[in-house]
Amino acid sequence: MGTLINSHFLALTVFITVGYQFISAITVLHKFDKDNDHAGITNFVILAISALVLKGSKNFRQLVLPLLVLVWGLRLGLFLVIRIMQWGQDRRFDGRRGSLCRLVIIAMLQVIWVWTLSLPVTFVIASDRHPSLQAKDIIGWTLWSVGFLIEAIADQQKLAFKFPPENRDRWCSTGLWRYSRHPNYFGEILLWWGVFVASSPLLEGGTWIVIVGPILHTMLILFASGMPWLEESANTRYGHINPYRAYRDATSPLIPLPPVVYLYLPRWFKIAFLFELPLYSVTLPSLQARKSHPSSH
């Protein structure tokens, strides 16, 4: 086990991730930060580059995956900078900035998320095996490319929609957002599963444990800090508005589908296969409450 940890840079990447995230927690505590997502995104890039430099490999496969992480991080990082300039400071942690204990817990969860999701890339870079390119490489890179494009397009469409001041308090239902309430998350999940698939030709024995990374990432988006938080926020702000309820009823939560198809699918199918989870509806105002509010977009 000790050999596995040392030869795959696991101890080093844990050390880097813990240190980086706790420094980021301090910036949040003292209100030096503007957007809390940058701490995670830049951490992925630092881990990939650090492992690549230490390994010193020039194998094609070992260069491709870090490059994909770098491209993803640069694109998303730039998007977040533009979003902060347009929308203002990230307010999600405002109620927790004064609590060191809460910020430590958030930092620990961030460490687990970043480190586990980086494992496929770390293992590929650290590997001494160099099998020829396989179909799994191509499939993985294709999944990443499709997911990257979907996430990038969805982010840009929402940014453009929210740019006019009159749209700041409206929900986005244009472009990819017409077919999914969270197309950016669909792209995010797809691209990281693509990274895992592309790493699979080098995995053997215990190294298959790296699958925990994309699984945890998907679970966090579906059940924790991703979609539940945004669904609750949207339900609170727009749940009393009839056009929003109509949009919500006809729009898939994650996997893009034409509204005319999604609207008439049975509820059990939506829950079982399309992630229309009951927890996303908990904060929807009751029908009685809706009658006391005007209906507008």
Report residue 254's pLDDT band, with 50, 70 and 90 as the boundaries: very high
Mean pLDDT, range 30-37, rounded to an integer: 54
Distance CA 130, CA 124 (A): 10
Which residues, in sequence order, are CB contacts of 281 under 8 Å at separation 6+? 235
Residue that the structure tokens 């989870």 belong to: 277
Distance CA 7, CA 2 (A): 8
Q: Which two tokens stand for residue 204?
A: 């053997």
Q: Which of 289, 274, 267 shows the shortest CA–CA distance to 181?
A: 274
Segment 224-251 shows an average pLDDT of: 94
Cβ count within 10 A of residue 10: 17
pLDDT on residue 97: 52
- More confidently predicted of 41 and 8: 41
For residue 131, pLDDT beyond 70: yes
At 249 the pLDDT is 96
Whole-angstrom distance, CA of residue 267 vs CA of residue 247: 16
Q: What's the average model confidence in pLDDT over 150-158?
A: 97
Task: State the pLDDT confidence band at 284, using cuts at 50, 70 and 90.
Answer: confident
Residue 8 pLDDT = 65
- For Cα atoms 120, 123, 129, give the angle at the middle one, nearest 5 degrees: 125
The predicted structure's pLDDT at residue 283: 85
68-103 pLDDT, tens digit per residue, is: 999 999 999 899 888 877 766 555 555 555 566 777
Tell me the pLDDT band of 119, cut-offs 50, 70 and 90.
very high
pLDDT, residue 266, reads 97
Q: pLDDT value at position 3?
A: 44
| Distance (Å, whole) CA 56 – CA 76 | 27
DSSP for 69-134 reads HHHHHHHHHHHHHHHHHHH-S--TTGGGTT-HHHHHHHHHHHHHHHHHHHHHHHHHHH----PPP-
- For all residues of the chain together, what is the average pLDDT? 86
Q: Give the per-residue pLDDT at 88.
A: 63
Check pLDDT > 90 for residue 221.
Answer: yes
Beta bridge partners of 180: 252
196: CB partners within 8 A, 6+ apart: 120, 140, 210, 211, 213, 214
Instruction: Tell whether the model's pLDDT for residue 293 goes beyond 60.
Output: no
Higher pLDDT, 38 or 207: 207
Percent of all residues in the chain with a pLDDT value above 70, rounded to a whole number: 84
- Contact indicator for 228, 237 with CB cutoff of 8 Å: no
Positive/negative CA dihedral, 235, 239, 243, 247: positive
Q: What's the mean pLDDT in 63-69?
A: 95
The pLDDT, as a whole number, for residue 101 is 75
Q: At a CB cut-off of 8 Å and minimum separation 6, what does 297 contact?
A: 170, 241, 243, 244
